[in-house]
């Protein structure tokens, strides 16, 4: 799966949870730039696990801050 394809799917997952209409990019801070609250963040992670068929542990979730952190996790989970 290519990085752009992952980004497109992530945008589809994240956008409904956003309170503002900013652009999502690799360096977007999920909680701050995209105005995602912690409850919605957990829901987003669960959707990502389902869509990409990967597992994100609580420890890994605590280390996710930027969109690129999610992209990297997805890519590494497919290796």
Q: What is the DSSP string of the chain?
A: --HHHHHHHHHHHHGGG-SS-PPP-TT-BTTTTS---HHHHHHHHHHHHHHHT----HHHHHT--BHHHHHHHHHHHT-
CA gap 47, 69 in Å, rounded: 16
Question: Which residue ranges form the domains of the chain, and what is each CATH number?
Answer: 3-77 (1.10.1200.10)
pLDDT tens-digit profile of 22-78?
A: 899 999 999 999 999 999 999 999 999 999 999 999 999 999 999 999 999 999 998
- Residue 19: pLDDT over 80: yes
């Amino acid at each position: 799966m290519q990085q752009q394809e992952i980004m497109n799917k992530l945008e589809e997952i994240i956008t409904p949870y956003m309170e503002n209409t900013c652009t999502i990019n690799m360096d977007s801070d999920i909680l701050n730039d995209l105005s995602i609250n912690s409850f919605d963040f957990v829901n987003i992670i669960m959707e990502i696990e389902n869509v990409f068929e990967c597992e994100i542990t609580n420890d890994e979730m605590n280390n996710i801050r930027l969109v690129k952190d999610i992209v990297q996790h997805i890519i590494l989970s497919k290796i």
